[in-house]
Structure 1
């Protein structure tokens, strides 16, 4: 099933006025000045994609009535086939130089040897990466927390007041007299 996209390149229907078309498109798309400036920048901007033929025709006719010429393009859904390349062949040194060079040693223990699987991974063939193993189930993988030391504080200038002494607190005001309720009566 063919899918279509609607693209606009700031082209107007012959005889249309620019300001009127801008106002029509602003109303249609509920666009502000910044989006209108982007629409009329002259670049090809895809307004709507993944439409069927009827939807694409509806968009085209509506925008044409508003004064804008749009391009309706059929978008073929292509599935890109990716063919993996063979791993690169290691480049051997010239024979004269090979005699003076020591043979290649295996990666040191605890290091991961990467073999490229395709052209993209060939860029990582010479990476010296640590070989991180798997910890047994239930192991704690975090490092131990260092002991926290108390900050050095000089408290020699402070002293304690004797128990019961006044520390400059504001005294509470004495409670006022109780309200007079002698005029109140209970009804039965």
Structure 2
């Protein structure tokens, strides 16, 4: 199944004032200040990835309604790197960090797509697995023994009762409206 990503370069549509587009994009993505400046820095920023075609079209439409331009790009599948032989391994000072996809290994590393994502190449994320279809996601709970509390002196009030609230007879107060007058214009 084809997967798409939404790429934003900080461009606004022709005829739309840049400040207006910035404000709408900030409101759309709920960002402001430095985060909004990063979005409009002109760098290639992936807003969302792993979308199907319909979801990608919805993102594009929302961004275009806000007055900005974006592109929907097809994500390329990443092939896992073949393991190297142990005798051809370079010395530790000559090694370059290699990012591998989290789906193919248990390292949790990601492959950077661009300069922005390269900052996340060395992130060691936990390796969460997806539960099989139909699995029970709720933790098992141990049955707790009932507490030794004597509730025999308590009872339930009948339906519609006022729970024993005492009604107070307060005099009805009618506001004085003698000083008010109607006036025709």
Q: What TM-score does the superposition give when structure 2 sets the normalisation length? A: 0.47
- The structure having more radius of gyration, on CA atoms, is 1
Q: What TM-score does the superposition give when structure 1 sets the normalisation length? A: 0.46
